[in-house]
Amino acid sequence: MRVLPRIAFALLLAGGLAFFSGCQKSNTPATAAAHAPVAPAVPAAPAPVVATIAIPPHANFVSAATSLGLDHAVAQQLPAEVRPVFNLGRIQAGHTLIYTHTASGEPLALTYQIEANRLLRLRPGVPNWTAAIETTPYVTHLVSVAGTVQSSLFGAVEAAGEHDQLALELASIFGWDLDFYTDPRQGDTFRVLVDENFLNGKFSGYGQVVAAEYVNAGTVFDALRFHDAFGQLAYYRPDGHPMKKAFLRSPLKFAAPITSGFSEHRFHPILKTYRAHLGTDFGAPTGTPVQTIGSGTVIRAGRFGGDGNMVQIQHAGGYQTLYLHLSRILVHVGERVAQGERIGLVGMTGLATGPHLDFRIEHNGRFENFEVVRKTLPPAEPVAASLRPQFSALRAELLPKLHALP
């Protein structure tokens, strides 16, 4: 009777030991895994090296690219290789050039900013580099802007939350009727419908002015964008006559006072004698850009005694214009210039007591008073009769929008 309990106890003890032993074995693989050796990490490849430069003034592609580390021989051959896509001889100062290469110096890419939304990408290949132009489209919004002049058009545009470029556009459109040096008055107003361009969500400049109005001392000037019979963009009055005339109203763009007018008998401050002054003096700082008031051909450009550095331009209809006392001449004899083109910079060369532009206009061999002449300047051609229906439809669409602005 006592043997059975002992046998049962022995069996129970053996089973417990087996269970305990099994539990110990089940932990062995986990313990081994925890202590297994870790494979060494593969080192990351060195990051590419990126070098950037703003093209310096007077630099060429080879000098700019080699300054970033590109091999000189490669830089010399690239312009010929990529010429079918882009002429690297036309790179411009201030634009960005980016060179990407490996840590060991192997070239990966070269990028040139042609315009804000256009990039030229060059990549090494076999045997030659490849080139492609990538364009990011602008997002354009038509916006309305209105303002009141307190001191200047620039100030009024800035007060309206816009940029100086818009003031320049307005001055260009209304420059045949208004001299923005002398004509603006406090209380003048402007309204404009203009395209604004955005690139990657950021303002990137203005497109075209679609319609504009400037009220000067109570006189209203309206301008509408329209393409002529040749597809050329121009601005017209609501009656179809062009804003553009044969001549601009001023050889300077903005705010220069008239310091001396046309006179047959004026006391010369240097010669101390009375003599004719056959031009109009505009007071402006040295270096102020001077524009030709009309298209024509340069017939004289150089230093001419008391006139200092001078440019003379022959225009159609027997007109000639002269620009005296320049600090710098930007054109040469025989060159054809367009209306509004920069031809020189204001200075005080020759007989001059201070920086100013002496501007003169001659018609059929006789000097005339520009302050009188510019009030009756000859106009350009109106909208062609065949395009009148399209122009009338445009006017009916845009003028109400323009005049609705506060």
Domain membership of residue 44 (yes or no) is no
pTM value surpassing 0.75: no
Amino acid at 148: T
Share of the chain above pLDDT 90, in %: 52
Of 120, 135, 150, the position where a domain reaches its end is: 135
Alpha-carbon span 169 to 160, nearest angstrom: 15
pLDDT of 25 strictly over 50: no
Structure-token pair, residue 161 = 């939350």
The CATH number of the domain where 290 resides is what? 2.70.70.10
Q: Are 138 and 124 in contact (CB under 8 A)?
A: no
| pLDDT at residue 339, as a whole number | 86
Neighbours of 340 (CB within 10 A): 16
Q: Are residues 149 and 182 in the same domain?
A: yes
pLDDT of 19 strictly over 60: no
Task: Quick: pLDDT tens for 72-129.
Answer: 999 999 999 888 899 998 899 999 999 999 988 899 999 999 988 899 999 998 888 9
The confidence band for 12, taking pLDDT boundaries of 50, 70 and 90, is very low
Task: Quick: pLDDT tens for 195-237.
Answer: 999 988 889 899 999 999 999 989 999 999 998 777 778 899 9
The confidence band for 190, taking pLDDT boundaries of 50, 70 and 90, is very high
- Across 247-251, 268-272, 274-278, 308-312, least confident range: 268-272
Domain membership of residue 113 (yes or no) is yes
> Which domain covers residue 318, as residue numbers?
258-376
Domain membership of residue 38 (yes or no) is no
Alpha-carbon span 324 to 310, nearest angstrom: 5
The per-residue DSSP string of 85-152 comes to T--GGG--TT-EEEEEE-TT--EEEEEEEEETTEEEEEE--SSS-EEEEEEPPPEEEEEEEEEE-SS-
Task: Quick: pLDDT tens for 113-124.
Answer: 998 889 999 999
Amino acid at 368: E
What are the helix (H) ranges across 319-387? 370-373
| pLDDT at residue 11, as a whole number | 41
Amino acid at 343: I
Of 236, 269, 296, the position where a domain reaches its end is: 236
The confidence band for 379, taking pLDDT boundaries of 50, 70 and 90, is low
What's the total number of domains in the chain? 3
Q: Are residues 146 and 213 in the same domain?
A: yes
